[in-house]
């Protein structure tokens, strides 16, 4: 889904990639972190001018309860609850230019 190269450049050590040995791929794929891999979130729209990032895939539900101090009802992966409210409506705009 993402195909953004989050850890594509981890085979070389370059001056601009000095993270003291932190293994991004291992962190992302660590099952204890409850990351969801290989699941299409079924976004409403990825349009540049009218995006809807609210997922329809309920497989993103049932994540771990966030720790105290966070919204403990947010037991889903990502910023938007599956089939939930697009909380960016009304304060975000996505102009073409």
What is the pLDDT tens value at each position of the chain, 97 positions in all? 455 555 555 555 555 666 788 888 888 888 887 777 777 888 888 888 888 999 998 888 888 888 899 989 889 888 899 999 999 998 898 888 7
- What is each CA distance from 85 to 12, 37, 81, 82, in whole angstroms? 41, 23, 7, 9
Q: What are the start-end ranges of the H helices in 3-86? A: 24-29
Q: What is the pTM of this model?
A: 0.60
């Amino acid at each position: 889904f993402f195909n953004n190269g989050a850890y594509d450049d981890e085979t070389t050590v370059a001056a601009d990639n000095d993270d003291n040995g932190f293994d991004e791929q291992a962190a992302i794929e660590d099952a204890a972190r409850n990351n969801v891999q290989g699941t299409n979130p079924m976004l409403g729209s990825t349009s540049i001018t009218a995006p809807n990032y609210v997922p329809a895939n309920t497989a993103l539900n049932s994540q771990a309860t966030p720790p105290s101090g966070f919204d403990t009802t947010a037991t889903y992966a990502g910023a938007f609850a599956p089939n939930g409210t697009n909380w960016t409506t009304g304060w975000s705009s996505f102009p073409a230019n």
